[in-house]
Amino acid sequence: MLTILYDGIAYGMLLFVLACGLSVTLGLMNFINLAHGAFAMAGGYCTVIVVNRFGVPFALGLPIAFLVTALLGGIFERTLYVHVYARSHLDQVLFTIGLVFMAVAAVDYTMGSSQQFVQIPEALQGQFEVAGVGIGKYRLLIIVICGLLTVALQLILAKTRFGSRLRAAVDDQRVARGLGINVGVVFGITFAFGSGLAGLGGALGAEILGLDPTFPLKYMIYFLIVVTVGGTSSITGPFFASILLGIGDVAGKYYVPKLGAFVIYAIMIIVLIWRPQGLFARGAVSR
Q: Give the count of alpha carbons within 13 A of 148, CB side only.
A: 5
- Among 83, 144, 172, 255, contact with another protein (rule: CB under 8 A): 83
- Distance CA(246)–CA(240), nearest Å, equals 10
94 or 140: CB nearest another protein: 94
Site string for another protein, 86-115 (x = CB under 8 A): -xxxxx-xxx-xxxxxxxxxx-xx------
- Distance CA(48)–CA(61), nearest Å, equals 8
Looking at 2-10, 141-149, 154-162, 271-279, which segment touches another protein (CB under 8 A)? 271-279
272 sits near another protein (criterion: CB under 8 A): yes
Neighbour count for residue 265 (Cβ, 10 Å): 13
Looking at 17-25, 67-75, 120-128, 219-227, which segment touches another protein (CB under 8 A)? 219-227
84 sits near another protein (criterion: CB under 8 A): yes
Is 238 in contact with 20 (CB distance < 8 Å)?
Answer: yes
- Distance CA(125)–CA(166), nearest Å, equals 39
266 sits near another protein (criterion: CB under 8 A): yes
167 or 218: CB nearest another protein: 218
75 sits near another protein (criterion: CB under 8 A): no
Neighbour count for residue 84 (Cβ, 10 Å): 17
Is 17 in contact with 153 (CB distance < 8 Å)?
Answer: no
Site string for another protein, 22-61 (x = CB under 8 A): ----x-----x-----------------------------
Query: Nearest Cα to 222, choosing from 43, 59, 19, 71?
Result: 19
Neighbour count for residue 276 (Cβ, 10 Å): 10
Chain contacts with another protein (rule: CB under 8 A): 26, 32, 80, 83-84, 87-91, 93-95, 97-106, 108-109, 217, 220-221, 224-225, 228, 258-262, 265-266, 268-269, 272-273, 276-277, 287
